[in-house]
Amino acid sequence: MEIQDEHLVNAVRSGSVDAFDLLMRRYQRTVHQIACNVSGDYENGLDITQTVFLKAYQKLDSLAEPARFKAWLIRMTYHEAIDGLRRRRDSECFDEQVHPAGDEGLDGESALQHSLHQEQVHRLLGVLHPKHRLAVVLKYFEGCSIRDIAGTLECSEPVVKNILYRSLKRMAAKA
Amino acid sequence: MTHDPKDSPLDALFEPPESERALWREEQSPEAVLAIHQKFLEAELPDTVHEERFDTMRAAVLRDIHNNPKYGETGVVPAKVVFYRRPWFAVLAAAASLFIGLLLGSRLWNQPAVPIWYNPMVDNGQTRPDGSRSAVNQMVAALDQPAADLSSLPYVYDNIAIAPTSDNQVHLSFDVATHVSMVRPADDPLVREMLVNALMEDHSLNNRLSAIQLSDQVMSPEIKKALLIAMRDDSELSVRLKAMAKLAGQMKDPEVSQAFMAVLKEDESVQMRLDALDYLMGANPEQSEIDALEKTLRERGDAPLLMRVNRWERH
């Protein structure tokens, strides 16, 4: 049975570093995914991830509701990614980014198709506002429900639906 | 492809709110949106980072944590809770509520019978027949009225009684007291009144002696009566002697001379009687008065005073 985030957060506050390691293992891919897709910086996503976890540890005592650690971590990742985006003055266009190949384990034509497919997805994400990009990533890559996304973005569910619809419409226009 | 506005595929996808539904149905190419939706559903983003790199990242984070630990084993840092959920806030709120309740309660239940700015002497406009205001009235006027609040209330109301009257009014009965310190001219009516009160007050011998000392500067009917009372009834011989000395100058006043006669008859102190006799004889009384005096002394059998009368007669 998986230990709940709330217990792990309390354990970290009590001095358990292992508990924080467990939290990192649990959310490292989520944080990395959001960091890469929101910032559009696929090379430095791991650096952003590391920074996010360090800041999370330092600010853990400011987390009012330990049960909502994931939403809190995602918001922190989003803000860190936005900061990274601002720092990258010379790389505003997603099209110019170096996207991950992501075809390890595939072979031949399927690997090529998969790579093209991923590249198109990342290019489409690049046309969105960072906050809208976060909503799309949470919805399609993290499998979050509308309600969870609303909790993370701290807005209502209709607003999230609207964001998703407008994001898809914008990407459809650019496709 | 025909688009049925009543059956937009986007409705099923996003469950749009009613306000947005009409706009979404106007979407001319929902298929394009759905295609993007499908593309993202199928976008199985691969693990672009190997587990080893995540291990390295975590190791770096843990190393940093070990070097700068924030949460020690013994020093547990409690979760940051919104202040109004903390116990101390509840205690403070309860204490504040209790204090406010007591304050309001005392205001509502212990209100004085009359408004604090009400002064019966002033508000009734009582003046003496001669047009002057009473000393108490002046004393009240000397204070800054009305009082701003209860804490600085200069009066103490006591023996309060409240009773409704038949004509829809209220009968108030109370004692009012206050402490006043001021400097006034010696002939001020308030000073005279205070002298009278001091002479009638049995608590302080010094006050009575001081009042007698000052009385010749401000002699008034009230002070004269107070001196007469002090001369006849004060328990202290020194006070009676001093009051007598002050009244001796008004021996022509029948009320004063009669009081001196009363002293001759009734005062237990020989010194008082001798002094009274000297003052009476020194005022050049009529022979008939001297005869009446001797008669009184014989009736009383007061030998020392009879001898003193004979001495005065020889002179």
pLDDT digits (tens, 9 = 90+) for B84-93: 777 888 899 9
pLDDT at position A23, please?
92
Q: What is the pLDDT of residues B143-154, one digit of tens each?
A: 545 544 555 566
Of all residues in chain B, the one with the smallest CA distance to A99 is B48
Residue of B24, B71, B77 best to disrupt the A interface, most CBs of A under 10 A:
B71
Q: Which residues in chain B have Cβ-Cβ distances shorter than 8 Å to A165?
A: 10, 13-14, 16, 20, 24, 33
Distances A101 to A118, A126, B42, B127, B170 between C-alpha atoms, Å: 8, 17, 17, 109, 98
Do the chains contact at A102 and B24, CB–CB below 8 Å? no
Q: Is the pLDDT of residue B2 over 50?
A: no
**Res B81: pLDDT:** 59
Give chain A's mean pLDDT: 80
B32 CB within 8 Å of a chain A CB: yes
Nearest to A62 among B36, B60, B80 (CB): B80
Say what the pLDDT of residue B92 is: 92
State the pLDDT at residue A94.
47
**Where is pLDDT greater, at B130 or B248?**
B248
Specify the DSSP element, H or E, that contains B122: helix B120-123
Q: Do B10 and A58 count as a contact with CB atoms less than 8 A apart?
A: no
What is the structure's pLDDT at A142? 83
Tokens (6 digits) for B51: 């587990």
Average pLDDT, chain B: 76
Could you tell me what percent of chain B has a pLDDT over 70? 69
CA distance A110 to chain B (A): 13
Out of B27, B29, B79, whose CB is closest to A63? B79
Distance from CA of A106 to the nearest CA of B (A): 11
Q: Are A68 and A6 in contact (CB under 8 A)?
A: no
Query: Considering only CB atoms, which chain B residues are within 8 Å of A170?
Result: none
Residues of chain B positioned with their CB less than 8 A from the CB of A62? 80
Can you give B152-180 as a three-state secondary structure string? HCCEEEEEEEEEECCCCCEEEEEEEEECC
Two tokens, residue B257: 């001379």
Is the peptide bond prior to B69 cis by the omega test (within 30 degrees of 0)? no
Q: For residues A167 and A135, is the Cβ–Cβ distance under 8 A?
A: yes
Mean pLDDT of B17-33: 68
Helix (H, G, I), strand (E, B) or coil at A117: helix
When pLDDT is cut at 50, 70 and 90, the band that residue B22 belongs to is low
Q: What pLDDT, on a 0 to 100 scale, did the predictor assign at position B231? A: 92
Instruction: Give the CATH class of A107-175.
Output: mainly alpha
- The larger pLDDT score, comparing residue B3 to residue A89, is at A89
How would residue B27 be classed by pLDDT, with cut points 50, 70 and 90?
Answer: low
Read off the pTM: 0.45
- B26 to chain A nearest CA, in Å? 13
* Contact predicate B48/A100, CB 8 Å: yes
Query: pLDDT tens digits for B181-193?
Result: 888 887 788 888 8
Among A93-107, B8-22, B190-204, B267-281, the range of highest mean pLDDT: B267-281
- What architecture is the A1-98 domain classified under in CATH? Orthogonal Bundle (1.10)
Which pLDDT score, from 0 to 100, does residue A102 have? Answer: 45
**Residue B127: pLDDT above 90?**
no
Question: How far from chain centre, in Å, is Cα B161?
Answer: 20
ipTM score assigned to the predicted complex: 0.78
Residue in chain B nearest A42 by alpha carbon: B48
> Of the given ranges (B171-175, B240-244, B292-296), which has the lowest mean pLDDT?
B292-296
| Contact between residue B17 and residue A113 where contact means Cβ atoms under 8 Å apart | no
Percent of chain B with pLDDT over 90: 8
| Helix H or strand E encompassing A33 | helix A17-39
What's the whole-number mean pLDDT along residues B189-211?
82
pLDDT of residue B288: 82
Of B36, B42, B80, the CB nearest to A61: B80
Query: Which of residues B20 and B297 earns the better pLDDT score?
Result: B297
Q: What's the Cα-to-Cα distance from B94 to each of A58, B88, B90, B103, B196, rounded to whole Å?
A: 35, 10, 6, 14, 55
Give the count of alpha carbons within 13 A of B207, CB side only: 12
Domain locations in chain A as residue ranges:
1-98, 107-175
Distance between CA atoms of residues B167 and A35, nearest Å = 87
Instruction: Spell out the per-residue pLDDT of chain A, length 175, in tens.
Output: 678 888 899 888 888 888 999 999 999 988 988 888 888 777 788 889 999 999 999 999 888 888 889 999 999 998 888 887 777 655 555 444 444 444 444 455 555 565 666 777 778 888 888 888 888 888 888 888 888 888 888 888 888 888 888 888 888 887 7
Q: What's the whole-number mean pLDDT along residues B299-304?
A: 80
Is residue B21 scored above 80 in pLDDT?
Answer: no
Report how far residue B252's alpha carbon sits from residue B275's, in angstroms, rounded to the nearest whole number. 17
Sequential DSSP letters for B32-96 = HHHHHHHHHHS------S-HHHHHHHHHHHHHHHHHS-SS-SSSPPPP---GGGSHHHHHHHHHH
Q: What is the pLDDT of residue A112?
A: 58
pLDDT reported for residue B152: 58
| pLDDT 10s digits, B35-93 | 888 878 777 665 567 788 888 889 999 998 888 887 765 444 455 556 777 788 889 99
More confident residue, B8 or A80: A80
| Nearest CA-CA partner of B255 in B278, B233, B224 | B224
